[in-house]
């Protein structure tokens, strides 16, 4: 697997998370100052230098539970709170949207263009906040420096790594179902039309060559689709036309979005249960995760009364029912990093554990019902 996949996965999932939150904060008329604070705090935490230094180190992908833990903390980097069922739904939407984008990329290198589309949108969110904008620009430079010179083979390996990560995730999303790009079993439908990868020709012609390299004959065939040549290549610079629309905000037009758990196939559920077996590398993964989480300097809200709970369901009862009925194989849970058993042997983990304790009130599980200021994704 590619050791350069994690930053791209993080940037794209983070971008999708921000799209979802921004759309509903606007639709539900949350006060502008609170909505702005939520977005700014999350983005500032996402692009914290210490955190990104750990993220950009060459390393293999974390497990789904480990990555979910990182985004769980990111989502609670501000005054907004989500119960576990709502966080599960938010994460499902994020992952399925990016999985679809990876599948649709005409060529593996276009994953970087998708990432830049997400970065462009994130930059727009904080365009009036110079200190956060600087953090985002520094990440742009890292992405350009690391990824623009990678070979086609390396990008193909990154794409394969991402698809392996997503292969057992078949959550049905109402937007995709209505647009007929997803089947009832949660699998995506790939189109047989549109532009071919940049630098390639529209299929439909077979050319025969002699042993000397001279073309001797041509044969036309029906390609079974409606393809056209790519007009130009997207820009890999900080400013430029990405050409592709993949990675842009699909929530810009208000549409009700629902995720449906029944879309998970039996095979994927069985596979997930197999993956739940003890992993001999789990301890090492937790050590890496602890260092990564240690870079997430989540600020403690000064006044708990300013916080508000986000509910991705129409009612509290629906949220509670979704939490109870969610299949075990789809439950990410929360990884708790224990560092108190051997603090002398692991001073670094003990320090991080102390940081977790200081921010203990930021748990996504909120006992108080609170006010439903958001019902994210009307029917979500």
Q: CA–CA separation, 230 vs 232, rounded Å? A: 6
Q: CA–CA separation, 174 vs 299, rounded Å? A: 35
> Residue 339's Cα: distance from chain center in Å?
28
Query: Coil, strand or helix: which one is 357?
Result: helix
Query: DSSP for 56-106?
Result: TSS-PPPPHHHHHHHHHHHHTSSSEEE-HHHHHHHHHHHHHHHHHHHHH-S
The whole-number pLDDT of residue 82 equals: 81
Q: Which residue has the tokens 């095979």?
A: 267
Q: What residues form DSSP beta bridges with 209?
A: 215
Whose CA is closest to 223, among 239, 206, 211?
206
Determine the angle formed by the axes of helices 6-27 and 130-147, rounding to 10 degrees. Answer: 140
23 neighbors 97 (Cβ within 8 angstroms)? no
Query: Coil, strand or helix: which one is 122?
Result: helix
Q: CA–CA separation, 116 vs 140, rounded Å? A: 8
Q: CA–CA separation, 223 vs 22, rounded Å? A: 41
Q: Which residue has the tokens 């990008």?
A: 155
The whole-number pLDDT of residue 271 equals: 40
Whose CA is closest to 134, among 253, 72, 48?
48
Helix (H) or strand (E) holding 175: helix 174-178
Helix H segments across 105-151? 110-125, 130-147
Query: Coil, strand or helix: which one is 371?
Result: coil
Domain residue spans in the chain? 5-191+239-253+306-355
pLDDT-flagged residues of the chain (< 50):
262-281, 302, 304, 334-346, 349, 352-380
* pLDDT tens per residue across span 245-283: 999 998 876 555 667 654 444 344 434 443 444 444 455
- The sign of the dihedral angle between the CA atoms of 36, 40, 43, 45 is negative
Q: CA–CA separation, 319 vs 187, rounded Å? A: 25
Please tell me the chain's helix, strand, coil percentages from 3-state DSSP, rounded to the nearest 5: 50, 10, 40
The whole-number pLDDT of residue 344 equals: 42
């Amino acid at each position: 697997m590619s050791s350069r996949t994690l930053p791209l996965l993080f940037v794209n999932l983070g971008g999708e998370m921000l799209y979802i939150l921004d759309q509903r904060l606007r639709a539900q008329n949350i006060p502008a100052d609170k909505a702005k604070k939520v977005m700014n705090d999350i983005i500032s935490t996402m692009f914290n230098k210490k955190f990104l230094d750990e993220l950009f180190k060459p390393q293999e992908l974390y497990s789904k539970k480990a990555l979910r833990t990182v985004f769980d903390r990111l989502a609670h980097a501000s005054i907004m709170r989500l119960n576990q069922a709502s966080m599960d739904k938010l994460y499902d939407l994020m992952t399925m949207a990016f999985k679809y984008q990876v599948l649709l990329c005409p060529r593996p290198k276009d994953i970087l263009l998708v990432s830049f589309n997400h970065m462009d949108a994130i930059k727009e969110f904080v365009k009036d906040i110079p200190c956060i904008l600087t953090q985002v620009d520094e990440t742009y430079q890292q992405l350009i420096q690391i990824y623009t010179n990678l070979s086609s083979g390396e990008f193909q390996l990154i794409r394969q790594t991402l698809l392996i990560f997503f292969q057992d995730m078949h959550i049905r999303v109402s937007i995709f179902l209505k647009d007929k790009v997803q089947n009832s079993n949660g699998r995506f439908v790939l189109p047989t039309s549109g532009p071919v990868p940049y630098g390639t020709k529209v299929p439909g012609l077979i050319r025969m060559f002699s042993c000397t390299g001279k073309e001797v004959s041509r044969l036309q065939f029906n390609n079974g689709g409606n393809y056209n040549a790519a007009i130009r290549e997207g820009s890999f610079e900080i400013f430029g036309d990405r050409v592709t629309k993949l990675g842009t905000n699909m929530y810009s037009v208000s549409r009700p979005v629902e995720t449906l758990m029944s879309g998970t196939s039996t095979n994927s559920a069985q596979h997930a249960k197999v993956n739940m077996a003890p992993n001999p590398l789990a301890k090492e993964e937790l050590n890496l995760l602890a260092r990564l989480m240690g870079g997430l300097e989540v600020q403690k809200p000064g006044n708990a009364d300013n916080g508000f709970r986000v509910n991705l369901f129409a009612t509290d009862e629906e949220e509670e029912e979704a939490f109870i009925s969610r299949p075990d194989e789809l439950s990410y849970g929360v990884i708790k990093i224990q560092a108190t058993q051997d603090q002398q042997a692991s001073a670094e983990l003990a320090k991080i554990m102390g940081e977790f304790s200081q921010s203990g009130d930021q748990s996504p599980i909120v006992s108080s019902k609170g006010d439903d200021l958001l019902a994210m994704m009307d029917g979500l």
